[in-house]
Amino acid sequence: MTTAVKRLQPKVIITCAVTGAIHTPTLSDALPYTPQDIAQQAVEAAQAGAAILHLHARNPEDGSPTGDPDVFAQFLPAIGERTDAVINLTTGGSPEMTVEQRLAAALRFRPEMCSLNMGSMNFSMHLMGSKVKDWKFPWEKPYIEASEAFIFRNTFRDIARVLELMSDFGTRYEHECYDIGHLYNLAYFVDRGLIKPPFFIQGVFGILGGIGADYDNVVFMKRTADRLFGSDYVWSVLAAGKHQMPITTQAAMMGGNVRVGLEDSLFIGRGRLASSNAQQVGKIRLILEELGMEIATPDEARQILALKGQAEVAF
């Protein structure tokens, strides 16, 4: 333990968010949406170094987001058979889903992890795709445009409900915090004993409606989390679009973990679309290893995050 980086964090956990609900098929041919493609890209991302796979489902015919557990069932077993990566299911879903729809897959499959969004907010992607003339599917343009009026609902009661409904399953959370206030919402639940350490905070930077992807903001969020939670939390960062690689690299340099994947950015470099999720995982892995950091295996991530283990899921 001679370097500052090693003192702060021996291994870095890479999460890959494989498809999400923000981007649409026209924006990138690489965005997976059939169960086969989601499974294949997830497995390849794990092989490239992702210890955690954050997963959404999409309708196989047109790539529109869905929370239907029957669609998740078409790719979860295939991923579980082919990799030992930690499966983390979304409970954020998409703008068009109710909180119940967002939770359905996590309730059925009882994964090792699920996301838990820590506050309500504007969440807009209406600036995306302004240059697109021909959309592959009719749902895409209205979906993107409607997000200008979207409120991403995560009230205290909603969060409490997720915690209550998931409490018997031993699932732990990726606490998505899109602004400093969301850390205080998390502290509210920690103070009431409803969330136990070590909890995994995913700082989200650069969503229109959330905190901006600025280096000062990353420092501010980390300092606030340190003040509120001391050593009770494990920190990770994602950043949207072109900010993905610089901001996640900064977070890792500060002792944090990182999330990449086509859910968060479709790009691999300036103006260059990524060819796959694995390409982004490979890039951040290379950057971190060149900086002298080591990448956590799935079992090391399980240990760091006190997860229940792959044998305890229901798929």
Residues lying near ligand KMH in the complex (CB under 6 A) are found at 17, 20, 22, 90-92, 115, 117, 176, 204, 207, 263
C-beta neighbour count of 271 within 10 angstroms: 7
- Dihedrals φ, ψ of 240, to 5°? -80, 145
Tell me how far, at minimum, the Cβ of 166 lies from Zn ion, in Å: 16
Give the CA radius of gyration of the chain.
Answer: 18
The whole-angstrom separation of Cα 126 and Cα 98 is 20
Number of residues that bind Zn ion (CB under 5 A): 2
Tell me how far, at minimum, the Cβ of 176 lies from Zn ion, in Å: 8
Would you state the structure tokens that stand for residue 214, as one six-digit string?
Answer: 């600025």
Cβ nearer to Zn ion, comparing 20 with 210: 20
- Please give the DSSP secondary-structure letter assigned to residue 36: H
C-beta neighbour count of 204 within 10 angstroms: 26
Cβ nearer to Zn ion, comparing 9 with 265: 265
Residue 303, by phi and psi: left (phi above 0), alpha (psi -120 to 50) or beta? Answer: alpha
Binder of residue 128, out of Zn ion, ligand KMH, none (CB less than 5 to 8 A by kind):
none
- Please give the DSSP secondary-structure letter assigned to residue 210: B
Binder of residue 204, out of Zn ion, ligand KMH, none (CB less than 5 to 8 A by kind):
ligand KMH
Binder of residue 24, out of Zn ion, ligand KMH, none (CB less than 5 to 8 A by kind):
none
Interacting residue with Zn ion among 24, 83, 90, 280 (CB under 5 A): 90
CB 213 within 8 A of CB 206: yes
**Residue 26 found at the interface with Zn ion (CB under 5 A):** no
Cβ nearer to ligand KMH, comparing 117 with 257: 117
Cβ nearer to ligand KMH, comparing 64 with 90: 90
Tell me how far, at minimum, the Cβ of 310 lies from ligand KMH, in Å: 21
Tell me how far, at minimum, the Cβ of 5 lies from ligand KMH, in Å: 26
Would you state the structure tokens that stand for residue 10, as one six-digit string?
Answer: 């021996």
Binder of residue 91, out of ligand KMH, Zn ion, none (CB less than 5 to 8 A by kind):
ligand KMH
Q: Could you tell me the CA-to-CA distances from 309 to 57, 59, 172, 198, 284 in Å, in that order? A: 22, 29, 11, 15, 26
The residues pairing with 260 across neighbouring beta strands, listed in sequence order, are: 16
Would you state the structure tokens that stand for residue 58, as one six-digit string?
Answer: 């999409």
Cβ nearer to ligand KMH, comparing 40 with 154: 154
Q: Which residue of this chain has its Cβ atom nearest to ligand KMH in the complex?
A: 92
The residue ranges that bind Zn ion (CB under 5 A) are 20, 90
